[in-house]
Amino acid sequence: MKQPKKHILKTTNLSIGYTSKKQVSVIATDLSINLEAGNLVCLLGKNGIGKSTLLRTLTKVQPALNGTVLIDQKNLDNLTNIELSKIMSLVLTERLPDSSLTVFELVALGRQPFTNWIGYLTNKDMEIIQMAFKKTNTSHLMNSKCYELSDGQLQKILIARALTQDTPIIVLDEPTAHLDLHHTVNTFSLLKNLAAEFNKTIIVSTHEANLALQLADELWLMSSSKFISGKTDILIENNELELLFDSNLISFNKALKQFSISNSF
């Protein structure tokens, strides 16, 4: 029996940007998001348009300028770090600091919000860790050191770590930035699978627009003029994808559901 879907993420009148002593620089206003659980969402937009700022705001790394973010029906402002860590896990673009952590230790760190004061792993923790390795197909890497991994392997391990945190929402900031086509597709199909099969809500910022069009249940489009969120098919139907890029350079082919280089180019 399928549970009725609920809004896992909802924003009202959200404005994002930075405040410094002298001025407020607004990056985007009036963002409205109504996201149901179990969806794969791709956040698309050009470099510097504010994708990271949006993700940073939704993950409470920086405060919103205005408006509210409701996560799992709770106001983001009222959630403590530890409460949020049980709802949302992250895969960041930043490189991990050098360490001689093993892959197992890294993935097991995902259990930190649930373990006791010294970080003891119970049988239940071990089961969840094992599941994460299995889902990401990385069990053979368990005893390697993290610095021995290739970029593709490391990305999978970081996703495994996020899975170990066992949160309904996973946010990934450009997870395929350093990957070749094979590993990019591989990563996206893994994410798609996690959303479909395990009812995870997965929010990915990416530059792989064509892949996103094929795989994402929902798209968030960011451009300098506006922000739109909605089901992929509906957005395609309403010709909303045109506004993502400069049409002199890149145009959207509605029939193929793909971007391509403009003929006038």
Partner 1 sequence: MINPTKSYKKTFIILLITLVFVFIVNLSLGSVYIPLKQVFLALTNGELEKDSWGSIILSVRLPKAITAIIVGSGLSISGLLMQTLFRNPLAGPFVLGISSGASLGVAILILGGSFLGANITSYAFTNFGLAIAASLGAFLVLSAVMIAAQKVKNTMSILIIGLMFGSLTSAVISILAYFGSASQLQQYMFWSFGSLGNLSWKEITVLCVAFLIGISFVIFIIKPLNTLLLGENYAKSLGVNVKKTRNLVLIATSLLTGVITAFSGPIAFIGLAVPHLTKLLFSTSNHKTLIPAVAISGAIIMLICDSIAQLPTSEYTLPINAITSLFGAPIIIWLLVRKRKVYY
Q: What is the closest distance, in whole angstroms, from the C-beta atom of residue 128 to partner 1 in the complex?
A: 11
Vertex 40, ends 36 and 115: CA angle to 5°? 85
Please list every residue from 104 through 143 that binds partner 1, using CB under 8 A.
104-106, 108-110, 112-113, 115, 117-119, 121, 126-127, 129-130, 142-143
Q: Does residue number 92 form part of the binding site for partner 1 (CB under 8 A)?
A: yes
Contact of 152 with 73, CB cutoff 8 Å: no
Q: What is the closest distance, in whole angstroms, from the C-beta atom of residue 168 to partner 1 in the complex?
A: 14
Please list every residue from 165 through 184 that binds partner 1, using CB under 8 A.
165
Query: In the set 3, 23, 78, 81, which binds partner 1 (CB under 8 A)?
Result: 81
For residue 221, list its beta bridge partners: 44, 228
Query: In the set 73, 99, 189, 260, which binds partner 1 (CB under 8 A)?
Result: 99
- Rg for the chain, CA atoms, rounded: 19
Q: What is the closest distance, in whole angstroms, from the C-beta atom of residue 208 to partner 1 in the complex?
A: 23
Query: What would the DSSP string read from start to end of 202-248?
Result: EEEE-S-HHHHHHH-SEEEEE-SS-EEEEEHHHHHHTTGGGGGS-TT
If phi over 0 gives left and psi between -120 and 50 gives alpha, with beta otherwise, what is residue 150? beta
Per-position x/- string for 28-67, each x denoting binding to partner 1 as judged by CB under 8 A, each - no binding: -------------------------------x-x------
Q: Extract the tokens encoding 7.
A: 């809004």
Q: Does residue number 89 form part of the binding site for partner 1 (CB under 8 A)?
A: yes
For residue 152, CA distances in Å to 29, 138, 179 come to 36, 11, 6
Site of interaction with partner 1 (CB under 8 A): 59, 61, 80-86, 88-90, 92, 94, 96-102, 104-106, 108-110, 112-113, 115, 117-119, 121, 126-127, 129-130, 142-143, 145, 147, 165
